[in-house]
Copies of this chain bind each other. A is one copy, B any other.
Amino acid sequence: MNLLNLKPIGFIKTPFQTKEGMPIQPTGAKGVKGIIEIDLQYIDGLKDLDGFSHVILIYHFHLTKTYELVVKPFMDDQLHGIFSTRAPKRPNPIGFSVVKLNKMEGNILHIENIDVLNGTPLLDIKPFIPDVDSPEVQKIGWLEGKSDKMGDKISDKRFKE
């Protein structure tokens, strides 16, 4: 069945203790600082990461136990397929955020613009490379005219378990 078993490489510490009141995307978390503590067994893998101003975090939406294929995201009152949203209750509960890397000290990363719950298990870090990760986008579907306002939105109870 091609199952994949993952285990955290570390954990993300943020000021967000509950899902309610959280920013819904990094733009809504502008300036919010957090810390990543990487498991010491992986510390050699961090070499030269601090050369990059921005990093990709791939993490586990660890409080999400079920999924919904059609959801009303925070930004809209219409129903959309889960894969056309960034909502957490996905078939594979994997999150993705790009954050600013301010400083690295040993296995500790000081990050900024972080939008995840405190204690979120981190699965992978990758360097953000504009030449490959920032395409020229022509359309953003149902988010047209809304995505620049994501920073104003705060999570409500919609995705509470």
A131 to B140, CA, bound (A): 10
Q: Which residues of the partner chain B approach A85 to less than 8 Å between Cβ atoms?
A: 126-127
Q: Report the count of interface residues on A (CB-CB < 8 A).
A: 72
**Do A42 and B91 touch (CB < 8 A)?**
yes
| Chain B min CB distance to A134 (Å) | 4
Q: Which residues of the partner chain B approach A140 to less than 8 Å between Cβ atoms?
A: 51-53, 127-130
Across the two chains, which residue of chain B brings its CB closest to A134? B134
Q: Which residues of the partner chain B approach A113 to less than 8 Å between Cβ atoms?
A: 135
Q: Which residues of the partner chain B approach A9 to less than 8 Å between Cβ atoms?
A: 91-92
A interface residues with partner B (beta carbon < 8 Å)? 1-9, 25-27, 42, 44-54, 56, 58, 60, 62, 69-70, 79-86, 90-94, 96, 98, 100, 113, 121, 123-135, 137-144, 147-148, 150
